Every structure is written in C-alpha cells, then in structure tokens.
Amino acid sequence: MSTKDVMIWRYNRAGTHYVADTVVMEEPLEIRIRFKDNAEKWVERPLSITMRTPGDDPELAIGFLFTEGMLRPEQLDKVTMGLENTVTVHVKPDTNPELEKMQRNFYATSSCGVCGKSSLDALGYTYGNLHFAEELPPLSPELITSLPQALTDRQTIFDETGGIHAAGLFDWEANLILAAEDVGRHNAVDKIAGKALRNQQASLDRHILVLSGRACFELLHKALALNIPVVVAVGAPSSLAIETAERFGQTLIGFTREGRFNVYSGMNRIHSSHLSKI
C-alpha cells in the first residue's frame, strides 16, 4: 500500500473541520545481497536501509545496486521479498559484488545526497562505459516543455496526496517509457533503473530522464550510470549537479515549467534556431 488515510483538522476561511486526508506511506526497506564468498559459501549480507514508499521494492533494490556500481545486469539471478520490509538480491555464483563501494565517504549530506563542490573528485566516479548516442536530432523547446506534464499525468499517488516525488524515462520523441513515484527522489530514479534492467531495456543513450523536483548530484550520478544523455528537472539544479553534467557532457535542464526552462549544460542537444545572447 502506497497511501494511508488519516484524520486531520483542516482550517480554511469557512472554519475548522475534522476530516479524512490521504498521505503518502513512508517505511524503511532493508536491501540485502546474497552471494558466494571467497570460501565458496553462500552468504547474505545487509547493504542499506532506505526510507521509501512501498511499491516496486525489487526494482528499487536492483536499481540501487546497479547505479551504485555494485552489480552489473548480467550478474543478477533473482530478487526475493522477505518479511518486515526486506528485499534480497541474489547474484549468480560467479559474481563478486563490489561491496567496498558502499564504504565511500560522504563529506556532506542533504536531502539531495552529496554536496560541496570539492567532493566530486574525492567520490571517485568514473563511468567507464559512458557513451551517449551521437547525431541525434536536437530537442525542440516545445518537446522539452511538454515533458513535466506528461509525467504529472502518470502520478497517481501525487494526485491522492500531493506529497511524492516522481521520475520518468522518455524516449527521444517524448514517449513515456517508464515512470516511478516515491517519497525519496533518489528511490524514484532507482526504481526506474530497476524496471529498465528487469525489462532488459536496450541502451538508454537515446533517452531523457525527467524529475518532478530539483536536480542534485546524486540524481545526475544515477542518470550517468544509466547512460542517459539528458536530464530535465522541474526544479533547480545544484552547483555540483551542474559541474557533473558539464564534466561528462550531459545535458542538464532545470526550471522546466510554464513553457520555459534553463539549460545549464549540453546546449548542443537543444534546437537553437531562436538562440540569442543578452
């Protein structure tokens, strides 16, 4: 269940009323991994606990392991749900998951993950398989401004609660391929990643990731791990998100609302027939 009904006191100009309201669910999920150790014995180890909205839990776990570089698609065997909000990712016998990547140091944290301009090099992300599709037709401004509403139209939980993040994967023609909602914006993107991997989605190097809120480093990092060349956010980007997009040649668009947007990096992918500098 993704929502819950609660009783609240609602105040407006007509007075105060005791009424029912619907809120988004937030519960902890423990992500575990099962693999063969150096002694050829099967072991199961907890990796992370995340606060999430229930739903698409297997996809969330798979996407998290993939975007954090601990698991490649061909290494996945299966995913099982346990009791008490746990999910276990089973890897194939010949797989050695890179668990040391869970030990990376976060110098400063916020609701958007890592921040602080000097931390990018220290985090050590390399994206060795990064390759965006070339010679794609430029995206029109009309197409870009249509994306947030197309995502909103699929936000069923937001319609009920008004309090949840969303992420959507679009192809180059603005067709919505995958969508996910979660109380955590990082979880929404991980759910997209997990869905793409479970569906054996082809390379995402010709796709667009749309975010219902702001764009922070962690979300750009996950998009790069998925080989997505364009990120479109309804809200503002952080300084480290901009630096990351510039460094890796990714297009980053923010404040996409009411027929307008800002391009912070990768203007080469945007149709610029009416471009002018002030």
Q: Which CATH number is 174's domain given?
A: 3.40.140.10
* 1 domain residue, yes or no: no
Which of these three, 92, 123, 154, is where a domain ends?
123
255 is an annotated ligand-binding site residue: yes
For residues 113 and 210, membership in a common domain is answered with no
* 11 domain residue, yes or no: no
Q: How many domains does the chain have?
A: 2
> Which of 184, 158, 196, 170 has its CA nearest to residue 73?
196
> Are 224 and 120 contacting, i.e. CB atoms less than 8 angstroms apart?
no
* 166 domain residue, yes or no: yes
| Helix and strand counts by DSSP (H, E) for the chain | 7, 14
* 56 domain residue, yes or no: yes
* 188 domain residue, yes or no: yes
For residues 167 and 103, membership in a common domain is answered with no
Q: What is the CATH number of the domain that holds 64?
A: 3.10.20.10
Per-residue tens of pLDDT for the chain, all 278 residues:
899 999 999 999 999 999 999 999 999 999 999 998 887 899 999 988 999 999 999 999 999 999 988 888 899 999 999 988 999 999 999 887 777 666 553 333 334 444 333 455 556 666 777 899 988 999 999 999 999 999 999 999 988 898 899 999 999 999 999 999 999 999 999 999 999 999 888 689 999 999 999 999 999 999 999 999 999 999 999 999 999 999 999 999 999 999 999 999 999 999 976 555 65
Which of these three, 123, 149, 183, is where a domain ends?
123
Show which residues are catalytic: 112
For residues 194 and 248, membership in a common domain is answered with yes
For residues 149 and 250, membership in a common domain is answered with yes
Sequence-ordered list of residues with C-beta below 8 angstroms from that of 230, at least 6 positions apart, any chain: 139, 207, 208, 209, 250, 251, 253, 266, 269
248 is an annotated ligand-binding site residue: no
Which of these three, 123, 152, 168, is where a domain ends?
123
For residues 147 and 242, membership in a common domain is answered with yes
Q: Which domain holds residue 259?
A: 141-269
* 3 domain residue, yes or no: no
Give the pTM: 0.89
For residues 165 and 76, membership in a common domain is answered with no
258 is an annotated ligand-binding site residue: yes
For residues 149 and 263, membership in a common domain is answered with yes
Give the HSE-up count for residue 66: Cα atoms under 13 Å, Cβ half-sphere. Answer: 28
259 is an annotated ligand-binding site residue: yes
72 is an annotated ligand-binding site residue: no
- 123 vs 126: CA distance, rounded Å: 9
For residues 248 and 157, membership in a common domain is answered with yes
For residues 159 and 96, membership in a common domain is answered with no
For residues 117 and 146, membership in a common domain is answered with no
CA 86 to chain centre: 20
13 is an annotated ligand-binding site residue: no
* 5 domain residue, yes or no: no
* 219 domain residue, yes or no: yes
For residues 147 and 248, membership in a common domain is answered with yes
For residues 147 and 239, membership in a common domain is answered with yes
